Structure 1
Amino acid sequence: MSELQHDAAPGATSEVRRPRATEVEQHGIDTIPPEHRHSRPLDLFRIQFGGANTFATIILGTFPVLLGLSLWQAVAATVVGVVVGSLFLMPMGLFGPLTGTNNAVSSGAHFGVRGRVVGSFLSLLTAIAFYSISVWVSGDAVVGALVRLTSINDSELLRGIVYAILGAIVIVVVIYGYAFMLLVNKIVVVGNTVLILLGAFAYTSKVDLGYDPGSSAYALGSFWPTFVLSALIVMGNPISFGAFLGDWSRYIPKATSATRLLGATFGAQLMTLVPFLFGVVTATLVAGDADYVVALINLSPAWYAVLLIVVAFLGGLSTGITSLYGTGLDFSSVFPRLSRVQASLFIGSLAFVFILVGRLAFDLVGSVNAFIGAIVICTTPWMVIMTIGYVVRRGYYRESDLQVFNQGRLGGAYWFNAGVNWRGMAAWIPSAILGLLFANYPPLIEGPFRNVAGGVDLSLVVAIGFAAISYVVLLYVFPEPRYAFGPDGSRWVPTRDVTMPEITDDHRASEHRARKRATVGEA
């Protein structure tokens, strides 16, 4: 049985093959072999920053101002949200190199190989939200610039066509896979950063550094509730990467330094302050306008309105790709009937329907607010449980045992109770529910306990606190099997000696695979 050791030889040798960008990726959520581990922490940095250096992040940066904060209050809330979110996110880049697979499958070590569908659900929720946001706002920016610069009239039909073009291009890139996605993000890291920074020349004369709409503008009635809500919305951006970091870090060699991986993630998220603060500052210029994107384009000099089309287009591709890629990858393992390509097409089509319905039938700001809130509340405690599990397991994982469910087999080190580790589940489910009960993301998510602290949103504190405390208590009261830990044993928690379930074939799954092969052969 393959076991991962910390002293394993690095996979980065002269024999490592780096695929061409136009070569369709062959790997799904199977373990990436050493000879295919062609990425570096720098690539992890690029793909995170590229995926967030977009109009979708700019839009999130406008929320603190839209909620009534002054310019400098909004800047403070943005910095707090990015830094705190990054600290929770950092450990999630460690799993991919150790397990050779994505974070949802890796979570099977702590939630069970079947219970890891929690991670798949969070991945799906995040992908639909950020894919939709990216196509929404990027499409609106392209349309707004076209209307400003040409004689074209704005219409729902025009927006639908632009959404469709952007969405289709994203799906095509996702089908090609990781190498193509990495190429796109390398371009966006440099290109969009330069274009966004040029905004300093476009808007300098219009910026009011003393912008302050006054205390009567606070969306939640007073400063602290509004400040906390703003920081939580911003925090949703780094947290949204939690389920996805393993999609990209799985191509990094096993022996890569944990410090370099942590630094790549933290550095990439700090760089997102570029688009975030662009959103903060420009939101003060168009405060009060119903459509930020259109208002900003109308305010821009003609030369910068043209550049905003490029920013919107590149950014829409980058965010959409990073969101959709991982979910298509993971969805194919939850539903083995679908290949990675088929799963990506299915999720992409589902998200596009959501885009059209959401754009035409719902309030964009309210929808984004609610989705971001749900992502933060549900994903952060999952990440906390994963991080605690990583620490007590000393970063030790059995690669082949993580793949049991995906391969239609039973047993192994992470089988626990019929494929579910109820310790992780019993910590995550109540924490997410409690978080939602304390949440205050108006108008769609308003928990019954949202006002217990004078309107200050305690949802994240409650969710994180309950998840961390309950998971540690469960590990002490109901020790995990000794075989789930490495040769050095557990760190800080007790274990129990029991026999590890033997890995066997799930005959129903085997019959399904045989029928699938026969169907393909007949075709």
Structure 2
Amino acid sequence: MVERRSIDVIPDEERRGTAFSQFTLWLGANLQITTVVTGALAVVFGGDVVWSLVGLLAGNVLGGAVMALHSAQGPRLGLPQMISSRAQFGVRGAVVPLVLVVVMYIGFFASGSVLAGEAVGKLTHLGPVPGIIVFALVTGVMATVGYQVIHALGRVASVVCALAFVYLGVRLLGRADLGHLAHQYHFALPMFLLAMSLSASWQLAFGPYVADYSRYLPRTTSARATFGWTLAGTVLGAQWSMSFGVLVAATAGAAFVDDQVGYVVGLGGTGLVASLLYFVIALGKLTVNVLNTYGGFMSLVTSVSGFRGQRVLSQRGRTAYITGIMIAGTAVALAGRSSFLNSFADFLLFLLTFFTPWSAINLVDYYLLSKERYDLPALSDPNGRYGGWRWDALLVYAVGLAAQFPFLSTSFYTGPLVGPLGGADISWIVGLMVPALLYAALGSRRARPAQPSPTAAGTADTAPEPTPATD
């Protein structure tokens, strides 16, 4: 069960599974309390029920489609997601978006630990701070075991959490005045776009690691099947949870805002039922926090290996990197748990700003310019085909970032074009379109079939088997 691979190519003889595994993993990863809070924010910040639900669905579908396109790269390349960024930014230049990716994983680890720590603390009667620490330790152990246990956890969470959400949904509908909520359909473009931004940012934030969890699928796995099952799982899970959050926020108001975990558990009941719900909350958060820890470890190794020339990593190295991610995320969780809700909203929008240009560049390069073929050995060679730094791609990334700021609306910064648009935030749309068009124009000279590097043969179709890691 303990995984040996990290940033190296997965050999064909070690690949297994079907594309359906992506459905259960991403359904389980989205049926959890933080997704509920994300949906609730659409109402907490002033949106009505009906248009918040529509806006969240639109963002989930659009953002989920981008995320699922990244997922389809996994079986083809057999590599972690961010390694492929070296084809666009250079073996060392990829560290620029990677630094932000690592910050993202630590932030999501922290935000998840705040809510899961409350659940673990109440379940074990230890309190929230020990609960956060216990939760972090369990997360670290499971991330160290790796790929197989992550998918097993996703399968369990997809069933257990789905049953819990059905039960909680029935309880909520018994309390809610559906007639009153159904009449809350006064359309306001800024609030509608805020709801879209919240759900789109949620989905796009999975992009930098989604292929990590499809890279062990057989190379012959259909890209369409991988895309479809990933999209179905992530959209269904996220929209289900976010819709529940919208209805909870519209029904409970301040009672939910002040204590998200306590209110949801109280909605379900007391005694044994409450204990089971605390367990479900912890299980749902464990699933996604293991993804964040594992993804953070992969991104950190990718960053360091670009400068050290590593192609494999020992078990001792895996443990050290994962421990570092766990400690950093736990420290942030303990420091910021008192202002979770407002901080989390700003964090989501911050992420959206920095990852939409990366997604646009990566997808244009992989699907349109490189035609799904990369020279895999050259992805580890700064003197090879992709070079150390690709300044044109980094320039496009910087322009993509800058283009968003006039349209960005957060609590700490509002762009000059937000007012003329009635307060609407469309920065993420600009952040996808501008770099995609620029990179397609500037990168068209790269649109030639990948050839073996002069130092080692192998492409996405014929990758050499890497040397097993040793201590």
Give the TM-score band, short-chain normalised. Answer: 0.7 to 0.9
| Percent identical | 24
| Other-structure match for 2:148 | 179
Unaligned runs of 5+ in 1: 1-19, 147-151, 405-409, 488-499, 505-516
User: What is the CA–CA distance in structure 2 between the aligned matches of 1:282 and 1:76, rounded to whole Å?
Assistant: 16
Report the CA distance between 1:75 and its aligned residue. Answer: 1.4
Displacement of 1:144: 5.9
Residue by residue over 1:424-448, the C-alpha shift from the partner in whole angstroms, topping out at 9 and shown as x without a partner, is 212112212332342112x234334
Structure of higher RCO (CA pairs closer than 8 Å, 6+ residues apart) = 2
| Structure 1 position 414 matched with structure 2 position 379 | no
* Residues in 2 aligned to 1:58 and 1:88: alpha-carbon distance in whole angstroms: 22
1:351 to 321, 329, 332: 329
2:400 corresponds to: 431
CA offset at residue 250 of structure 1?
1.2
- The one-letter amino acid paired with 1:184 is L
Give me the TM-score of the superposition, normalised by structure 1. Answer: 0.79
Structure 2: which amino acid aligns with 1:371?
F
SS for the counterpart of 1:318 is helix
Amino acid at match of 1:244: Y
Secondary structure of the 1:457 match is: coil
Residue identity matched to 1:470: L
Structure with higher Rg: it is: 1
1:196 and 2:161 aligned: no
Residue aligning to 2:219: 254
Quote the RMSD (CA, aligned, Å): 2.6
Q: How far, CA to CA, are the matches of 2:447 and 2:48 in structure 1?
A: 53
- Rounded Cα–Cα distance in structure 2 between residues aligned with 1:481 and 1:223: 43
Cα deviation for residue 307 of structure 1 reads 3.1
* CA distance in 1 between partners of 2:95 and 2:412 (Å): 26
Partner of 2:176: 207
How far did 1:145 drift?
A: 6.9
Q: Cα distance, 1:297 vs. partner?
A: 3.3
* Change in CA separation of 1:144 and 1:59 when aligned onto 2, cut-off 3 Å: farther
Higher-helix-fraction structure:
2
Which among 382, 394, 400 is matched to residue 371 of structure 2?
394
The equivalent of 1:320 in structure 2 is: 289
**Does 2:252 align with 1:286?**
yes
User: Shift of the alpha carbon at 1:206?
Assistant: 0.4
1:68–1:213 CA contact under 8 A, matched in 2:
no
What is residue 7 of structure 1 aligned with on the other side? none
Deviations 1:315-347 (A, max 9, x none): 121110011101112312322588222111101
Q: Of the candidates 107, 123, 129, which is equivalent to residue 129 of structure 1?
A: 107
Alignment CA distance shift 1:164-1:434 (3 Å): same
Bigger shift: residues 39-48 or 185-194: 39-48
Which residue among 475, 491, 495 is the counterpart of 2:443?
Answer: 475
- Do residues 30 (structure 1) and 2 (structure 2) align? no
The answer to whether the 8 Å contact 2:78/2:216 transfers is: yes
Amino acid at match of 1:176: V
Alpha-carbon spacing, 1:200–1:452, altered in 2? closer, same or farther (3 Å): same
Structure 1 residues 371-380 or 274-283, which shifts more?
274-283
1:75, 1:30 → 2: CA distance? 41
Q: Which whole-Å CA distance do the structure 1 matches of 2:245 and 2:420 have between them? A: 31
Cα separation, 2, equivalents of 1:73 and 1:313:
30
CA-CA distance at 1:383 after TM superposition: 1.0
Question: Aligned partner of 2:219: which letter?
Answer: K
The within-5 A match list for 1:93-108 is: 93-108=71-86
Q: Secondary structure at the match of 2:254?
A: coil
Q: Which whole-Å deviations, capped at 9, do the CAs of 1:237-275 have from their partners, x for residues lacking one?
A: 211110011211111122211111111111112221222
Contact in 1 for aligned 2:190/2:425 (Cα 8 Å): yes
Query: Structure 2 CA distance, aligned partners of 1:144 and 1:437?
Result: 44
Paired residues of 1:112 and 1:421 also in contact (CA < 8 A): yes
Q: Secondary structure at the match of 1:440?
A: coil
Give the Cα–Cα distance (whole angstroms) in 2 for the partners of residues 332 and 340 of structure 1.
Answer: 9
How do 1:15-414 residues align onto structure 2 when only pairs under 5 Å count? Answer: 20=1, 24-143=2-121, 158-211=127-180, 223-272=188-237, 273-289=239-255, 290-302=258-270, 304-336=273-305, 339-360=317-338, 363-390=339-366, 391-404=368-381, 410-414=382-386
The alignment partner of 1:313 has SS state of: helix
Unaligned stretches of 5+ residues in structure 2: 457-469
> CA contact under 8 A between 1:122 and 1:243: conserved in structure 2?
no
CA distance in 1, matches of 2:25, 2:104: 17
Alpha-carbon distance in structure 2 between the residues aligned to 1:436 and 1:189 = 37
Conservation of the 8 A alpha-carbon contact between 1:144 and 1:294:
no
Moved more, 75-84 or 291-300: 291-300
**Amino acid in structure 2 at the alignment position of 1:365:** L
